[in-house]
Structure 1
Amino acid sequence: MKGLTRGQVAKATNMNIETIRYYERRGLISDPPRNNVGYRMYPQEVIQDIELIKRAQDLGFMLEEIKDLLAASKGDKEFHSQEMLGFASGKIKEMEKKIRDLNEMKLLKLKAVIRQKRYNYKPHTPNHVAENILNRAFQEEYKPMEVLLTDVTELPYGNNSKAYLSAILDYGVQKIIAFKLSHHNNNALVRDTFSQIENQLIPNKTLIHSDRGFQYTSHFFREYISRNDVIHSMSRVGKCIDNGPMESFWGILKSEMPQLEAYDTFEELNDALQSYIEFYNMERVPLSMGLRIPA
């Protein structure tokens, strides 16, 4: 049986094997047959498909749109440039409308209460980076422990003091499954957070999506990913929307958790976080659920 092994496809497309596996599970490329010694053998055309997927992701296409692109591209050599241009044009029009809406909000002096100021962090040189495999496929339905989103934010307390909160959101069940508050924003904070769920991870299936913060590009986190044989996905540079639901949780927490600045001590803040996250997981009713109560 002629064809390419998964390793050869990864090398030819400059992708890692974890990304190709994820494309298969999401139905972007077909799971190929095996040869007589058990290796999956991909047709040569898969390289063109992966290049199309990468270009579509760079333009911000969602998962279902990419599937439509792939389906329409079969047998049409001119499709790649013409159809990509058409889709991109539609995306640009959507973005222009959003910009107009934001400008109108500024003129009317309207402000979204739930959105908080973004903090400026010092740039760093990453040790390890990953593709944006998740690609904002937030409209999909996921099983528990299939897609995990994570991030770190800072919270004020006392007299100009700051604490750092690391959390993991299981997108399939819409619950915070691990969190840790610390005096320091460092690798130990993320390590202690992820140690809480290590025995729940599903090898070759769990996808962890993060931004490109120094903890997630570090040697220690890469070793964690490899040791547990899970998939790492990263947001594009400067694109916090790629981790939208996690950013949304921070906004909800900071607007609903009463009087963040009123906590005098680290311990008071930590106790309040414990109570709020328990409420968020067990009692809070998101708008997307209507009047249904979380299980």
Structure 2
Amino acid sequence: MGKEATLSFVRCQSTYEAVRILSEERSFPVWKLCDFLHITRSAYYRWLMHPKSNRELENERIAGVIGNIHKAHPDMGYRRIRDELDRKHDIHVNDKRILRINRALHIQSTIKYRRHGCTRSATSPEYIAKNYLKRQFHADVPNSKWLTDVTEFKYYIGPEVHKIYLSAILDLYDRRIVSYALGDHNDNRIVFDTFDAAVTSNPDAHPMFHSDRGFQYTSRSFHMKIQAARMKQSMSRVAHCIDNGPMEGFWSILKREMYYGYKFTSREQLAQTISDYIYYYNYQRLQRRLSVMTPMEFHQQYTKAA
């Protein structure tokens, strides 16, 4: 079956039905209707004379599920939709088929936006670490390499614009968010709270800890925390955002999927949405780099094997 026939279940069903009604009830010539609607008479008569094939019926069923997934997660592209179908709906098809169905349904993921960071470099850093990570973004075991950063979000109360800040730590092995903290100020406290929460929940972890050169991370107080936790501190080079690439990537994913395109009108609403998304990211969002598992599934797989 060719591609045109494969897509007819979505693209042409309503068109064929219109031709049938107009030709039978109003006696319009079929050839004129087909010509006007840019379909072939042979395709129309094939549709009229023969029942739907098993593949067409299956495509209709898949299209319905895809529509529901897209409605719930408009950020998903065809690859993530295929993974969602495979893992959660027991529908096992390849990427190309999902791409064709998506195109027929005019489904595409939301657009990526460029991140506008909020990290302020220290004017007089008390401690600068070398870039020991050196863009080696692979880790063989959990809690061996942690990345961190801070980003900002806006919400509106009437005409007034307010901000909250999110600090997070990401594990390079399973890409899970180890800990995070929300605050009204981009200050030492939000970074220290994030770090303390990570250490408390992972007391035996002594990873390489990588950040940019934000003023919080270059303070002597923070370096003392790193030393007390027996971690090795690493920092990105000046003006090299890619040195902290996976962390930047997480901000991009988070904002594209739960922030851009929405207007938040209270701090509580925005803070709860961020918290809900991080839970979704850790426990429900499938990733191909993790063998189509969630970060926590990938993490737990290692734990069980160990």
TM class by shorter chain equals 0.5 to 0.7
Q: Between 217-226 and 120-129, report the one with greater CA deviation.
A: 120-129
CA distance in 1, matches of 2:214, 2:120: 9
1:214-267 residue CA offsets vs partner (Å, 9 max, x unmatched):
000001101101111210000001111000000000011110014575221211
- Give yes or no for the alignment of 1:148 onto 2:169: no
Query: C-alpha displacement at 1:123, in angstroms?
Result: 5.3
Task: Provide the identity percentage.
Answer: 40
Q: 1:176–1:208: structure 2 CA closer, same or farther, 3 Å change rule?
A: same
- Give yes or no for the alignment of 1:124 onto 2:137: no
8 Å contact kept, 2:120–2:215: no
Unmatched 5+ stretches in structure 1: 1-111
2:185 match: 184
SS in 2 for 1:276: helix
- Give yes or no for the alignment of 1:115 onto 2:114: yes
CA distance in 2, matches of 1:249, 1:225: 23
- Give yes or no for the alignment of 1:265 onto 2:266: yes
Structure 1 residues 244-259: aligned runs within 5 Å = 244-259=245-260
8 Å contact kept, 2:112–2:256: yes
Q: Normalized per residue, which structure has more helix?
A: 2
Query: C-alpha displacement at 1:119, in angstroms?
Result: 4.7
CA distance in 1, matches of 2:211, 2:218: 9
Structure 1 residues 1-295: aligned runs within 5 Å = 113-119=112-118, 121=120, 124-138=123-137, 140-158=138-156, 159-199=160-200, 200-202=202-204, 205-259=206-260, 262-289=263-290, 291-294=292-295, 295=297
Q: 1:249–1:133: structure 2 CA closer, same or farther, 3 Å change rule?
A: same
Q: 1:221–1:290: structure 2 CA closer, same or farther, 3 Å change rule?
A: same
Q: 1:137–1:184: structure 2 CA closer, same or farther, 3 Å change rule?
A: same
CA distance in 1, matches of 2:248, 2:239: 13
1:109-149 residue CA offsets vs partner (Å, 9 max, x unmatched):
xxx724323457465111101010010001x3331111100
TM-score by length of 1: 0.57
Q: Which has the larger radius of gyration?
A: 2
Q: 1:201–1:133: structure 2 CA closer, same or farther, 3 Å change rule?
A: farther
CA distance in 1, matches of 2:119, 2:234: 22
SS in 2 for 1:194: helix
Aligned-partner residue type, residue 218 of structure 1: S
CA distance in 2, matches of 1:187, 1:260: 30
8 Å contact kept, 2:264–2:270: yes
RMSD, matched Cα: 2.2
8 Å contact kept, 1:201–1:230: no
Query: C-alpha displacement at 1:198, in angstroms?
Result: 1.7
1:56 match: none
8 Å contact kept, 1:215–1:221: yes
CA distance in 1, matches of 2:261, 2:152: 11
8 Å contact kept, 1:129–1:217: yes
8 Å contact kept, 1:155–1:260: no
CA distance in 2, matches of 1:232, 1:212: 11
